[in-house]
């Protein structure tokens, strides 16, 4: 993986001074690519790139330029292609000659040959920019599910782009400003964001499954991929077989690398399935003892509180799966002080307040994994595509007029300072964004009632909740120079599972029942039917004390921006009650109490660190 950034302006010559600015922008992305930082310029274009070497150390350097029929093309790319050899062989049939075995060169020649249609040929995760010297045109594209990020900012007659917000903010002409829409994004929807929204004024993110073409006086953006609704005609047995074969192929494709690879292992269905197929593949390659990693919290065995959302701890299940597949397992245990200390680092990695200790623990964990491996496979996205979350099962949630993981919008609004209650409505904003989302849903002809509502829910999860988790995984892992791949986000799997009817997804009355059937004989039976448990959180009372004290100390500074946004007395009561006065989870299922306190702590740090102006 890498960091990409650039500046294009058809009205200005971009020379040495501008190259230095882009180099500074690229340097902010150094952790995404610690192995090399380079720039490339021509007339009105500057590219910057930071490289994390995963494939072809000598031949895959970037920005990469190739000349075809007298015209030059240059690429700046962040991602991995999992069908590199198939595309390479096809291009060889058309006469293309390769100088490396990197996927970067394959992607560049794909664009040269197929133009904008190249993105439909790709299986992978990517965000890239290509300068077309023949047409004097910039082409930007992002993968179908939005695994890899790409932010943009229109500057004068030109455009800035970067893998992360911090890269664009490093430009001297860009300021960290919030307008009313950005403030509503932050207060009503955070830590999620409206697709395409960059929070800061003027900031955009190229939407997943979209490309943009930039030429003199023209910006054109198009969607190139969408799930298609159609009747599912395969039997249960055939469906399970299809899922198994497709998922196995996906895992094996994503294990290809020239550096050490591992898997994240929680002992749940999704990560255990990845580990099972990875172990089998590694054995066929003559490599034994796949490395696996899990995270836990100091003293969680003493303080763990069972709930409907978090029915049991991971540790015993991790041990069982590791033993079953003979993995070389590392269990990382984070202490409470470290969890709090890293809240600021996690916020800076995301460039926004995020998921509190879930972010900071993942950031720390990725650092521990990076000590042993450069690439990791993780189980995100299975619950979004197979329907593993509680809101898929609750008719009240399905017929609601707002995102089901944002139950707290009314309570959020209740915290606001009076002046903001008069100017903005968090409820209206959240409902507006949900209504907009539902207009995009690819409908199935003749489908109605709860089945149609469930299809809406699957779509909202795919373009809202899934990207929030993918953003968390990308930023926390890349901040530790670790590449994380997500097999369940393979677009072929997403397309196939999209049309499997709910009754089949819930085979046997179990969430993700069809996936469990597909994995029969692959996993130990008790692991196969373990009840879903989300990414773990700390239950230690010391953590609550630590974050509460930290926020209380920050609030003693009367210049805190939080006082300009929230009601003073309600903030004080929230701190005194250690978060208990806010009963509804702030986001998702588990972000409540101490996690809300930690979020506000991140929010205050963010305003201060980024010098945010409202």
Q: Check residue 559 and give its pLDDT.
A: 81
What's the pLDDT at 402? 95
Is the model more confident about 207 or about 306?
207
Q: What pLDDT does residue 184 have?
A: 97
The rounded mean pLDDT for the chain is 93
Cα first-last separation, the chain = 34
H or E segment to which residue 4 belongs: strand 2-9
Q: What is the pTM assigned to this prediction?
A: 0.95
DSSP state of 379: -
What percent of the chain has pLDDT above 70? Answer: 97
Which of 195, 219, 318, 309 has the alpha carbon at shortest distance from 266? 318
pLDDT over 60 at 304, yes or no: no
Sheet containing strand 64-68, strands side by side: 64-68, 71-81, 124-132, 137-142, 210-215, 218-223
Q: Which two tokens stand for residue 449?
A: 């009632």
pLDDT of residue 245: 98
Q: Where are the domains of the chain?
A: 2-223, 236-404+434-528
pLDDT for position 195? 97
Instruction: Quick: pLDDT tens for 549-575.
Output: 999 999 988 789 999 999 999 999 999
Instruction: Decide if pLDDT at 170 tops 60.
Output: yes
Compute the Cα dihedral for 206, 210, 215, 220 and give only its sign: negative
Cβ pair 389, 375 in contact under 8 A: no
| Average pLDDT score over residue span 148-175 | 97
Contact 271, 265 (CB under 8 A): yes
CA distance 356 to 190: 11
Ranges 216-225, 536-545, 605-614: which has the least confidence: 536-545
> Does 305 have pLDDT greater than 90?
no
**The token pair that represents 108 in the structure block:** 């560049």
State how far the Cα of 192 lies from the Cα of 468, in Å rounded to an integer.
Answer: 5
Element (H, E) at 329: strand 328-334
Q: What is the pLDDT of residue 307?
A: 55
* Residues ≥6 apart with Cβ < 8 Å to 426: 184, 187, 188, 409, 412, 413, 416
- Is the per-residue pLDDT at 114 higher than 60? yes
- Lowest average pLDDT, out of 321-330, 463-472, 525-534, goes to 525-534
Phi first, then psi: what are they for 65, rounded to 5°?
-120, 135
Closest CA to 3 of 339, 341, 293, 351: 351
Alpha-carbon distance 554 to 19, whole Å? 39
Helix (H) or strand (E) holding 250, with range, is helix 236-254
pLDDT (0 to 100) of residue 309: 54
Q: How far is CA 161 from the centre of its chain?
A: 18
Asked whether the beta carbons of 518 and 240 are under 8 A apart, the reply is: yes
pLDDT recorded at residue 65 = 96
Tokens of 570: 């309600």
Q: What is the DSSP letter of 35?
A: T
Short-list 295, 476, 457, 273, CA closest to 379: 273
Q: Which two tokens stand for residue 250?
A: 């996906």
Percentage of the chain beyond pLDDT 90 is 85
Q: How large is the angle between the packed helices 541-555 and 568-576, nearest 10 degrees?
A: 150
Q: Tokens 């978060």 correspond to what residue?
A: 579
Rounded CA-CA distance 432/435 in Å is 5
Predicted pLDDT at 593: 83
H helix runs in 33-133, sequence order: 84-93, 103-114
Which residues, other chains included, contact 89 with Cβ-Cβ below 8 Å and sequence gap of 6+? none
Place of tokens 């239950």: 539
Rounded mean pLDDT of 213-219? 92
Which of these CATH numbers, 3.30.9.10, 3.40.50.300, 3.40.50.360, 3.60.20.10, describes 2-223?
3.60.20.10
pLDDT of residue 1: 66
Would you state the pLDDT for residue 289?
87
Q: Which fold has domain 236-404+434-528?
A: Rossmann fold (3.40.50)
Q: Answer yes or no: are the C-beta atoms of 536 and 297 closer than 8 Å.
A: yes
Question: How far apart, in Å, are the Cα atoms of 444 and each of 228, 454, 587?
Answer: 9, 12, 30
Query: If you search the block for the tokens 């900031």, which residue do you land on?
Result: 203
Quote the CA–CA distance of 356 and 60 in Å, as a whole number.
Answer: 36
Catalytic site includes residue 118: no
Classify burial at 534, counting beta carbons within 10 Å of its beta carbon; exposed 0-12, middle 13-18, buried 19 or more.
Answer: middle
| Residues 348/232, Cβ–Cβ less than 8 Å | no
Sort 399 into a burial class: Cβ within 10 Å, 0-12 / 13-18 / 19+. Answer: exposed
Q: Which helix (H) or strand (E) holds 40?
A: strand 36-42
Q: pLDDT for 318-346, tens place per residue?
A: 999 999 999 999 999 999 999 999 999 99
Q: In what order do the strands lie in the sheet with 291-297?
A: 328-334, 291-297, 261-264, 375-377, 483-485
DSSP string, 65-92: EEEETTEEEEEEEEEEESSHHHHHHHHH
- Do 472 and 350 touch, CB atoms closer than 8 A? yes
From the list 361, 243, 347, the residue with the least C-alpha distance to 293 is 361
Name every residue whose Cβ is closer than 8 Å to that of residue 130 and which is 6 or more positions away in sequence.
73, 74, 75, 76, 108, 111, 138, 139
């Amino acid at each position: 993986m890498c960091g990409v950034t650039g500046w294009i302006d058809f009205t200005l010559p971009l020379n040495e001074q501008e190259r230095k600015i882009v180099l500074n922008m690229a340097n902010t992305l150094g952790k995404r690519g610690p192995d090399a930082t380079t720039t490339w310029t021509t007339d009105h274009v500057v590219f910057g790139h930071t490289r994390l070497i995963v494939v072809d150390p000598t031949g895959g350097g970037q920005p990469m330029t190739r000349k075809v029929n007298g015209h030059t093309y240059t690429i700046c790319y962040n991602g991995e292609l999992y069908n590199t050899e198939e595309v390479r062989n096809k291009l060889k049939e058309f006469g293309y000659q390769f100088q490396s075995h990197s996927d970067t060169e394959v992607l560049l020649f794909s664009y040269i040959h197929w133009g904008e249609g190249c993105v439909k040929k790709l299986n992978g995760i990517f965000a890239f920019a290509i300068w077309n010297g023949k047409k004097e045109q910039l082409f930007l594209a992002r993968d179908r599910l939005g695994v890899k990020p790409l932010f943009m900012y229109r500057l004068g007659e030109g455009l800035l782009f970067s893998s992360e917000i911090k890269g664009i903010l490093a430009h001297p002409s860009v300021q960290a400003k919030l307008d009313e829409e950005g403030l509503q994004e932050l207060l009503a929807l955070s830590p999620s964001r409206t697709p395409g929204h960059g929070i800061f004024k003027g900031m955009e993110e190229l939407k997943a499954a979209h490309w943009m073409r930039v030429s003199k006086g023209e910006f054109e953006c198009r969607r190139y991929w969408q799930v298609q609704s159609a009747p599912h005609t395969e039997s249960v047995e055939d469906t399970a077989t299809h899922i198994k074969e497709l998922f196995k192929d996906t895992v094996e494709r994503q294990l290809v690398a020239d550096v050490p690879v591992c898997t994240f292992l929680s002992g749940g269905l999704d990560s255990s399935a990845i580990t099972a197929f990875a172990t089998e593949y590694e054995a066929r390659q003559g490599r034994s003892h796949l490395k696996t990693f899990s995270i836990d919290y100091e003293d969680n065995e003493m303080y763990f509180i069972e709930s409907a959302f978090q029915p049991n701890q991971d540790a015993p299940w991790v041990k069982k799966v590791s033993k079953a597949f003979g993995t070389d397992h590392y269990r990382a245990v984070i202490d409470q002080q470290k969890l709090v200390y890293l809240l600021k680092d996690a916020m800076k990695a995301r460039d926004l307040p995020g998921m509190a200790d879930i972010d900071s623990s993942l950031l720390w964990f990725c650092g521990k994994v990076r000590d042993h491996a450069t690439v990791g496979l993780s189980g995100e996205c299975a619950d979004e595509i197979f329907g593993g979350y509680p809101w898929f099962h609750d008719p009240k949630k399905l017929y609601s007029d707002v995102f089901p993981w944002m139950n707290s919008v009314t309570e959020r609004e209740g915290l606001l300072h009076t002046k903001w209650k008069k100017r903005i409505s968090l409820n209206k904003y959240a409902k507006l964004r949900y209504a907009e989302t539902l207009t995009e849903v690819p409908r199935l002809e003749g489908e109605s009632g709860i089945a149609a509502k469930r299809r809406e829910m699957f779509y909202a999860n795919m373009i809202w909740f899934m990207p929030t988790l993918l953003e968390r995984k990308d930023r926390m892992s890349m901040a530790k120079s670790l590449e994380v791949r997500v097999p369940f986000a393979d677009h072929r799997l997403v397309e196939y599972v999209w049309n499997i009817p709910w009754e089949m997804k819930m085979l046997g009355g179990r969430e993700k029942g069809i996936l469990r059937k597909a994995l029969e004989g692959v996993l130990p039976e008790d692991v196969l039917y373990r009840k879903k448990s989300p990414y773990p959180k700390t239950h230690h009372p010391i953590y609550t004390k630590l974050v509460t004290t930290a926020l209380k100390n920050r609030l003693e500074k009367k210049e805190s921006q939080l006082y300009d946004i929230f009601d003073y007395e309600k903030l004080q009561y929230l701190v005194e009650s250690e978060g208990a006065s806010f009963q509804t989870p702030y986001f998702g299922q588990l972000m409540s109490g101490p996690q809300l306190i930690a979020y506000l702590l991140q929010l205050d740090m963010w305003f201060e660190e980024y010098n945010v102006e409202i």
